[in-house]
Homo-oligomer: A and B are copies of this chain.
Amino acid sequence: MRTEISTLGEFGLIDHLTKNIKLTQPTTKKGVGDDAAVIDNSGKRTLVTTDLLLEGIHFDLTYAPLKHLGYKAAVVNFSDIYAMNGKPQQITVSLGISKRFSVEDMEEFYAGILLACEIYGVDLVGGDTTSSLTGFSISITCIGVADEEKIVYRNGAKDTDLIFVSGDLGAAYMGLQLLEREKSVFAGKVDFQPDFSGKEYILERQLKPEARKDIVQFLAEHEIVPTAMIDVSDGLSSDIIHICKQSNAGCRIFEERLPIDYQTAVMAETFNMNVTTVALNGGEDYELLFTVPLSFHEKMAAISGVHLVGHITKPEDGYYLVTRDGQEMELKAQGWNPIK
Contacts and interface: CB of A to CB of B under 8 A. Distances in A.
Contacts of A130: 10, 52-54, 57-58, 338-339
B50 A128 contact: yes
Pick the most buried of A5, A39, A97: most chain B CB atoms within 10 A of its CB.
A5
Interface stretch (A119-127, A154-162, A256-264, A305-313): A119-127
Contact of A31 (B1, B24, B123): B123
A338 B139 CA distance: 17
A42 interface: yes
A106 B17 contact: yes
Contacts of A56: 133
A14 B44 contact: no
Interface string A89-130: 110101111010111101100100010000001111111111
A96 B21 contact: no
A3 B102 contact: yes
B43 A42 contact: yes
Interface string A79-96: 000000000011010111
A51 B3 contact: no
A189 interface: no
A32 B5 CA distance: 36
Contacts of A50: 92, 94, 126-128, 139, 141
A27 interface: yes
Given A37-B125, A57-B133, A126-B48, A103 B25 contact: no
Nearest to A130: B338
A48 B7 contact: no
Nearest to A13: B129
B339 A129 contact: yes
Contact of A134 (B102, B125, B133): B133
25 contacts: A1-B104, A3-B102, A3-B103, A5-B102, A14-B129, A16-B103, A16-B107, A20-B114, A23-B125, A24-B121, A25-B89, A25-B123, A27-B145, A31-B124, A31-B126, A37-B125, A46-B143, A48-B126, A48-B141, A50-B128, A52-B137, A53-B130, A54-B130, A129-B339, A137-B137
